[in-house]
Structure 1
């Protein structure tokens, strides 16, 4: 992987007390941990050599204190005070050399360290404290330099995202890649708008999201919050808060779940999301609905449970619901964000749960989530009223009702077939304001298939010679054939419709049979010609 990519590198682990004790320069002194074994994972920020009776006054916390034991007070109270001061200031551990003053640690020192949870380490052999300092400080400074380089790369990566106008999905994805953790963007009502899982699935990350999120308080700054220990940061601008971004701990975290680099990543994520919100006019909720719908339509979820969990985190009821896919095609170019928003609010005001989002330019997808006892026909009619109020020429196509969310893809496919089979100006059924599968007859089916060259070849093969004859001789035998087929083979009715005598009708039909090499008395062949004539009408209407 590219070493310049912060996501490609393992996080820097801080140097701990146990690490220092394992260094050859310290191990040569035969260190023995007397107290505080559970605390050997404490990070070491510095090494401090002291022979003072009050070394705590020179410490800031995190120091590994080395001493020969010479300055330890004689009295028990003084020893306890010495240990208390080290513990209070946050010293990482106390290392005492048993060479000069002591050959075993005083009991009062051991007891005091055990009470305060301060690791006490003894050295049985002489150790060069100066050499220890040099080795440890070199390691610490190397870690600090590496941390600074990685932090700089994080800043550069987010700056590049901002400069190219990255959207919120790109920002959250980058944060997950850099941290190796799941990152979630939510709005103010605790709906998960964007989830980029890392080391987990969508199902694991978002199950019961709203409930879990509400138990995680919203801090005014980047902080670890809640019972699960999320790292969260608000997303806001000039005092207006839009939501927050959360980084979730992994099940493999040992020790502190988040380090300084994680905090840097999340803070830069928050800043980049603020910029994305300012430069991209589409509200986050609309983008989230669009992505959820497209994932359902294209079946891009890893599993059915992932699909249910993601939609539930957006506020869509997925348990014991029925779903109906609806497509709205704006024939006058009235698509975009405004219809999405207005239709969503119209449905929500009516107490109807739905995902609403643009699937393609001038086409909206709407997935209605209905209660078991809620009929879908009145709901779709209400939706149609709102749609036609926005665009009287809009076409609403409906798929069949499904009972499981992953099956919504089938309902959307059916709605798409209905839309494809609905030519411009197609009258609505007399009892409703939308089109559904049962409306697709032969003419509309052929309209949907009009781009298929097999339909075009069939039409030309069946009728081409007749059309060519009309063009070359100025006749209108095609119209005669149409009257005959419309009359279901009744020559008298066909002659009357064409304003012809029976003898003229018979003569023209014989000519048609000769040109097409067809028997017009055959019901099957009349059906074939009728299909071809209907297809010709559809093809000419393009």
Structure 2
């Protein structure tokens, strides 16, 4: 029983007799059979349906008994059947030679010698998996060769043009000093595949998804990557059929670029074409050059980018964020996260502090991401065991920061077990940092500041740029300050001593080194100038807030 399959109907022609081959790739047997010049012969696929996706390199017309001696592989062989031997052994030899040389398919016209394919031919082609196609009507073989060869040559020219565009694009990236993110993004856009840059310990430093989400691309990355053997050149590797290319640095392998197959879907091919190989080869080359001209270690750059995305909540989904963080080697399951900020006095010290703190945490076995969040600000995301106290870790981190950059201020946010809540933890740390005056003494027994340290003065310091705070201080105390300036008095200090003493005039006099009578006189003058009643607890509170606001505004 033969496998009779009508060839697929031809697609609408786009120009002349061009078939369904995608631009830039060789036509397959199925593409050629869909050409009008062949569909006119009513082709039927008798055997080898699974081989219809084989590329056709050329078309060969033959009436010889040994056509294989003139072939190089990949040819679509056209024959009227006239040279076929009568005996089955000769037919098997004929088919074996075609299959051994790698012919793409055998097309036989059933017009002159045969009206049905010989059983021996069908059995021999089926045994070797060689596609056998019959034509029920007369076809002009010369016209077939002209059309198919024009299609092949046109695709080859398109491949050359596309390859040239790939080379030009990566050359332009290299000349403008593009970083790894730019290079990987360009590779994904040109190929239509997800592209990942990883280092030697299988940490995904850059991921540019195309067709995948970050979650799908990076979930379980280290285990999947370790199952994909390295290759000395660009090649398909591993159980998921990744296309991989080594990336070098100063003559040694540094990591690799990975192109993931397209996700399954209708009409989607998961195989890689020659252009994909070219794109990934040029990607690896551009990354090698970028590694030479960008001195900052790319692991550090990756940490910075992920931290900024977490702080600014730029991930598409919580699952994407978790996959990206885990792909950098930070535990995300059964972990407790703590956000820490380190503000250094001089911007020039930030990069040094970033490197030293990162190395110190790694040496102590603390899992963390460390990266710049601003010109003089470092962000640190600690990933701790759920039962591990975070205060000793942050205390040690604060002491290290002070040792590296004296005058550094370390602020910490609240702990959370939910990675998406890390942004909230960083916001809390930012509020603490904003409320911490430069040079402010550390709390007793601590090397860091936390939210519970924010008192009235700290709150007003954080809000000092708000014009409402400035207006309030000026409305309540401006006349008193103007009087002191105009008359050379120091009533503001007397008011401070009185308020600090909670309205006790005797204590205020002692603190100011004045007699009680002098204090009484000055307080009456203050009441007159400010139109207030200093015996009122509420008004004293308002003045105390205004005086504290004035102090932090002057501290700027």
TM-score, structure 1 normalization? 0.96
Instruction: Confirm or deny: 8 A CA contact 2:78 2:106 kept in the other structure.
Output: yes
For 1:452, the equivalent position in structure 2 comes to 466
Cα distance in 1 for residues equivalent to 2:192 and 2:35: 30
Instruction: Confirm or deny: 8 A CA contact 1:186 1:244 kept in the other structure.
Output: yes
For 1:195, the equivalent position in structure 2 comes to 207
Instruction: Confirm or deny: 8 A CA contact 2:413 2:450 kept in the other structure.
Output: yes
For 2:446, the equivalent position in structure 1 comes to 432
Q: Offset at 1:89?
A: 1.2
One of 168, 179, 191 as aligned partner of 1:167: 179
Instruction: Confirm or deny: 8 A CA contact 1:335 1:363 kept in the other structure.
Output: no
For 2:74, the equivalent position in structure 1 comes to 62
For 1:150, the equivalent position in structure 2 comes to 162
Query: What is the 5 A alignment of 1:280-359?
Result: 280-359=294-373
Q: 1:133 to 1:11 in 2, by over 3 A?
A: closer
- Does 1:96 find its partner at 2:108? yes
Q: 1:256 to 1:195 in 2, by over 3 A?
A: closer
Cα distance in 2 for residues equivalent to 1:134 and 1:172: 41
Task: Structure 2: give runs of 5+ residues left out of the alignment.
Answer: 1-21
Instruction: Confirm or deny: 8 A CA contact 2:65 2:85 kept in the other structure.
Output: yes
Cα distance in 2 for residues equivalent to 1:18 and 1:486: 92
Instruction: Confirm or deny: 8 A CA contact 1:67 1:95 kept in the other structure.
Output: yes
Cα distance in 2 for residues equivalent to 1:275 and 1:13: 30
Q: 1:469 to 1:255 in 2, by over 3 A?
A: closer
| SS in structure 2 at match of 1:277 | helix
For 1:5, the equivalent position in structure 2 comes to none
For 2:537, the equivalent position in structure 1 comes to 523
Instruction: Confirm or deny: 8 A CA contact 2:339 2:426 kept in the other structure.
Output: yes
CA offsets, 1:84-115, max 9 Å, x none? 11111111100112222222221111100011
Return 373-382 or 278-287, whichever deviates more: 373-382
One of 486, 489, 495 as aligned partner of 1:472: 486
Q: 1:311 to 1:197 in 2, by over 3 A?
A: same
Cα distance in 1 for residues equivalent to 2:203 and 2:107: 52
Return 287-296 or 68-77, whichever deviates more: 68-77
Q: 1:334 to 1:384 in 2, by over 3 A?
A: farther
Cα distance in 2 for residues equivalent to 1:238 and 1:469: 71
Query: What is the 5 A alignment of 1:219-258?
Result: 219-237=231-249, 239-250=251-262, 251-252=264-265, 254-255=268-269, 257-258=271-272
One of 397, 412, 427 as aligned partner of 2:411: 397
CA offsets, 1:216-242, max 9 Å, x none? 111111111111111110101453011
Q: Offset at 1:256?
A: 5.3
| SS in structure 1 at match of 2:415 | strand
Q: 1:191 to 1:106 in 2, by over 3 A?
A: same
For 2:3, the equivalent position in structure 1 comes to none
Return 343-352 or 178-187, whichever deviates more: 343-352
Q: Offset at 1:335?
A: 3.2
Count of matched residue pairs = 533
Cα distance in 2 for residues equivalent to 1:287 and 1:393: 25
- Does 1:37 find its partner at 2:49? yes
TM-score, structure 2 normalization? 0.93
One of 496, 517, 522 as aligned partner of 1:508: 522
For 1:276, the equivalent position in structure 2 comes to 290
Instruction: Confirm or deny: 8 A CA contact 1:293 1:365 kept in the other structure.
Output: yes
Cα distance in 2 for residues equivalent to 1:168 and 1:31: 51
Q: Offset at 1:467?
A: 0.8
Q: Offset at 1:11?
A: 5.7
CA offsets, 1:18-48, max 9 Å, x none? 2222222222222222211222222111100
Q: Offset at 1:13?
A: 4.5
Q: Offset at 1:372?
A: 1.3
For 1:267, the equivalent position in structure 2 comes to 281
Return 232-241 or 172-181, whichever deviates more: 232-241
| SS in structure 2 at match of 1:335 | helix
Return 71-80 or 512-521, whichever deviates more: 71-80
Return 146-155 or 500-509, whichever deviates more: 500-509
Instruction: Confirm or deny: 8 A CA contact 2:197 2:256 kept in the other structure.
Output: yes
Instruction: Confirm or deny: 8 A CA contact 1:455 1:535 kept in the other structure.
Output: yes
